[in-house]
Amino acid sequence: MTKEERHEMIMEELIKHGTVLVSDLVSRLEVSAVTVRKDLTELEKNDRLYRSHGKAVLVNPYINNRSVSEKEKLAPDQKHAIGREAARLITRDDSICIASGTTVHALARNIQPIHKLTVVSASLPVSNILSQHENIDIIQLGGMLRHSSLSVVGEYSARILDECSFSKLYMGVDGIDFDYGITTTDMREAALNQKMIAAAQKTIVLADSSKFGRRGFAKIADIDAIDVIITDAGVSPKVVKQIENLGIELIIAQ
């Protein structure tokens, strides 16, 4: 197998699974670990992947702080399906919290309440989407606006949460690493999400399948803080098994 063929196979595996271990590539390519590491180094230099602790991921999460308009274009069908499944979990006269991220925008678009609903929102787009429903009471958190996400962060946002309790927190993340936990790209957002988790009876993470195996800059919480993960059908069987072994409820949106 030529170097070009190895590189093509490596990228195919990454596109399919989002992450791949060096040890798995050694077996699949039938080459030494040294050869695999050289291949990954070359692909990383060409900005095709990101290396991290014995594995490679498709996208470098540490620099993946794109604007909302850019993120909205990524996996739109998967996000819509995830948002639809997430909306089905809302019950009559519910009180929920919605954090930030484009996947929770899809949730907001799928909410069609036939009853009273109270929403605490960190996201300006979410509040705007939900404002068309007269039977939704919206508590918009205040604070410093993050231009990249159009969501608020900071002390003023956190203060309101001290006086709130809600049944469910819907949260988007930038990475889910089973060893490290759930992460985002901003420390202030991570701190606010931690306050939201403390105020919620159940934490529901909305994440398309590309988020697994990735680790962002700022840690939100350990993996055991999650009650439910809603993802798309592109999730690998290996990840499904890991989630089930952790006792986390998994919903795969078709």
Question: Per-residue pLDDT tens for 143-178?
Answer: 999 888 889 999 888 899 998 999 999 999 989 999
Torsion of CA 13, 15, 16, 19, to 10 degrees: 70
Question: CA separation (Å) from 68 to 7, 61, 64?
Answer: 32, 15, 12
Q: Is residue 210 part of a domain?
A: yes
> Could you tell me if 132 and 33 lie in one domain?
no
* CATH code at position 52: 1.10.10.10
Q: Are residues 233 and 193 in the same domain?
A: yes
Nearby residues of 184 by Cβ (< 8 Å), 6 or more positions away: 173, 174, 175, 190, 193, 216, 217, 218, 220
pTM of the shown model: 0.76
Question: Are 21 and 126 within one domain?
Answer: no
Query: Based on the domain organization, do 119 and 216 belong to the same domain?
Result: yes
Residues 36 and 151 in one domain: no
Domain containing 34 equals 3-58
Considering the domain architecture, whether residues 165 and 103 belong to the same structural domain is answered as yes
Percentage of residues in the chain with pLDDT exceeding 90? 68
Q: Per-residue confidence at 63, pLDDT binned at 50, 70, 90?
A: very low
- Tell me how many domains the chain contains: 2
Residue 139 included in any domain = yes
- Are 176 and 81 part of one and the same domain? yes
In a domain, 124, yes or no: yes
* Domain shared by 208 and 177, yes or no: yes
Domain identity same for 86 and 186: yes
Residue 245 sits in the same domain as residue 119: yes
Q: What confidence tens digit (pLDDT) does each residue in 180-236 have?
A: 999 998 899 999 999 999 999 999 999 999 889 888 889 999 999 999 999 999 999
Do 148 and 199 belong to one domain? yes
pLDDT band, very low/low/confident/very high, at 60 (cuts 50, 70, 90): low
Judgement on whether residues 47 and 73 belong to the same structural domain of the protein: no
Note whether residue 63 is domain-resident: no
Q: Is residue 110 part of a domain?
A: yes
